[in-house]
Structure 1
Amino acid sequence: MSKAVRYNEFGGVEVLRIEEVDRPAPGAGQVLVRVKAAGINPGEAALRRGAMMDIFPSTFPSGQGSDLAGVVAEVGAGVERFSVGDKVIGFSEQRSSHAELVLVDVDNLTPKPENVPWEVAGSLYIAGVTAWGAVHSVQLEKGETVVIAGAAGGVGSFAVQLARRAGATVIGLASAHNDQWLRSHGAIPVAYGDGVADRLAAAAPDGIDAFIDAHGDGYVELALALGVSTERIDTLIDFAAAAKHGVKTEPGADGRRGAEVLAELAALIADGHLEVPIANVYPLSQVREAYTELERRRTHGKIVLKP
């Protein structure tokens, strides 16, 4: 037996519980991973509330989570790339990573570099791959200016650094207490709130070329009002605005597999070229507390569960 997060109905954090489940057995092409760390993400909270059931239907009891890092505990038939004891980074497509043991398709795993901490490796997939895709989606070129809304959050902190690596001038929309972090990573901080359009115009006197919205709440309309063309706007959260205005929501990963992007991001972290801020780490038993903090939307960086 092993422990896993489960819920039987849509709702708030109160529906989450820890259950004893049978030890998963890997089938052909699968790897059983003993999880060392698993990140949590806003999309998982939306799924749990039923807000995305038309796009991502749920069945009950439901597990939760995509991001994970851990140690290979068992391999299924035909798996040759990994052996028992290997340290790996990966993702589950079955909403199951918030658990002690998780079955993962072998193609969804990549080796974990030794100098990448577990909590960083385990929170890399959703935020890192999404940010990587968004930066590619808006087609940044050296010398261009991009605004990133939600610049200090899980996705935004990745996007800021990746956009800077692409040679862009980055304006980071975030709460004022994140100014120091944004400046230290080469971004121009601009605070949310009344007058934000004027502050953005002042920060970019030559205009804004692209806009990545990792926050929602009217930023697609703001980008359009600032003269950004629809093909250079990517929203990761405001799908209604995207449908209304025709801006991008696709990740822009150029057909690359998630594990390939994971490997690239992990290598950047291992070489000191990419930082993953960790806001907090909770034991699996405190999954409700972890999501309570996440859903306040005030954290800088990633929140991680450790079984």
Structure 2
Amino acid sequence: MRAIQFTEYGPPGVVHVAEVEAPHAGPSEIRIAVRASGVSPGEMYIRSGTLRDVVPTTFPYRTGFDAAGVVDEVGGGVTGVGIGDEVFGMTTMAARGANADYAVLAAWAPKPAAWSWEEAGGAAGSVETSTRVLDRLAVGAGHTVLVQGAAGGVGTIAVQLAVARGATVIGTASEHNHDFLRSLGAEPTTYGTGLVERVRALAPAGVDAVFDCAGGALPDLIAIAGDPARVVTIADFTAAAHGVHMSHGAPADETGAAVGAPADPLASHGLAIAVTLAGEGRLRVPVAAAFPLAEAAAAHELSESRHARGRIVLVS
């Protein structure tokens, strides 16, 4: 089968299609014929070599954590899903390999009828990450939440899930994305100099929690929240130095040393919540662009630009 991988550190051009042996579903797993899969922003740091001193990497490195497709193999002990079912879900963090013709999923849910394959292929990772962080921050009804980097792949989902919990959401993004954020239920503002004052004007009673999806602004985010314990980042590797928790779900031997924190438990229960919200028309998955597998390098280039609105996906 075809799979996306890289065999050396470097720019997006090192990413390529390789012919590899197809995986098979083990106990408590399923295999899908992939229709679409997400491009993981975190893998940009690994591919570029930015984390080479703290994240051990074994080559070839196969990419992709989330995918959607049709079940074609069911492992031992699996119930409630059968061959031919349409699902979306995630691989294990250690196995990866979702950017391929076939992928083994360790967590999954039925593909919502309202979602295209591209939307479903880019959903699971953002849903799990957003649910994990919102759970840690205990976001609920009546709270005010700031999502830093709200127009990106995770940010767009975090906004909608927080709104669904009954929270008031302020989201930062470039001005050309402000109407888009309003359509998701957030009050938009720009990032950068003056952020603290802008957020205080929008939330004079204060902000209960900050979800940082962008990185690079932790001192301001702490000032907005009033306490580093009320800030969680998924993008800033300086978090520990600021007393902020960096949430990740990667194996400890891969990422723990880099961020100074062990992995958080994966919030796989968020997938079922997403199915319900999608069925109610309350959760959509903005897709910035879809590329064929053969153009995976172009997908990585777009992701690295950090100008994509929503998820970037590969289609099989």
Fold match by TM threshold 0.5:
yes
CA distance in 2: counterparts of 1:200 and 1:27, whole angstroms: 48
For residue 222 of structure 1, give the secondary structure of its aligned residue in structure 2: helix
Give structure 1 regions of 4+ aligned residues with deviation exceeding 6 angstroms. Answer: none
Where does residue 237 of structure 2 map in the other structure? 239
Where does residue 14 of structure 2 map in the other structure? 15
Summarize the Cα distance change of 1:169–1:103 in structure 2 as closer, same or farther, 3 Å threshold. closer
- What are structure 1's unaligned runs of at least 5 residues? none
Q: Tell me if structure 1 keeps the 8 A contact 2:240–2:246.
A: no
Give, in angstroms, the shift of residue 9 of structure 1: 1.1
Residue correspondences, number? 300
For residue 295 of structure 1, give the secondary structure of its aligned residue in structure 2: helix
Identity of aligned residues (%): 39
Listed as ranges, the matches of 1:152-301 within 5 Å are: 152-218=151-217, 220-226=218-224, 228-240=226-238, 242-250=239-247, 258-301=267-310
State the TM-score, normalized to the length of structure 1.
0.90
Provide Cα deviations, 1:71-92, integer angstroms capped at 9, x if missing partner.
1122344444432211111111
CA distance in 2: counterparts of 1:209 and 1:29, whole angstroms: 38
CA distance in 2: counterparts of 1:273 and 1:198, whole angstroms: 31
- What are structure 2's unaligned runs of at least 5 residues? 250-263
For residue 269 of structure 2, give the secondary structure of its aligned residue in structure 1: helix
Summarize the Cα distance change of 1:53–1:267 in structure 2 as closer, same or farther, 3 Å threshold. farther
Q: Tell me if structure 1 keeps the 8 A contact 2:140–2:162.
A: no
Give, in angstroms, the shift of residue 171 of structure 1: 1.2
Q: Do structure 1's residue 103 and structure 2's residue 109 form an aligned pair?
A: no
Provide Cα deviations, 1:116-175, integer angstroms capped at 9, x if missing partner.
321111111221111112222222243332211101111111111122222222111110
State the TM-score, normalized to the length of structure 2.
0.87
Summarize the Cα distance change of 1:25–1:233 in structure 2 as closer, same or farther, 3 Å threshold. closer
Q: Tell me if structure 2 keeps the 8 A contact 1:137–1:250.
A: no
Letter in structure 1 aligned against 2:229: E
CA distance in 2: counterparts of 1:224 and 1:166, whole angstroms: 23
Q: Tell me if structure 1 keeps the 8 A contact 2:90–2:105.
A: yes
Letter in structure 1 aligned against 2:242: H
Q: Do structure 1's residue 145 and structure 2's residue 132 form an aligned pair?
A: no
Letter in structure 1 aligned against 2:159: V
Q: Do structure 1's residue 26 and structure 2's residue 35 form an aligned pair?
A: no
Where does residue 70 of structure 1 map in the other structure? 69
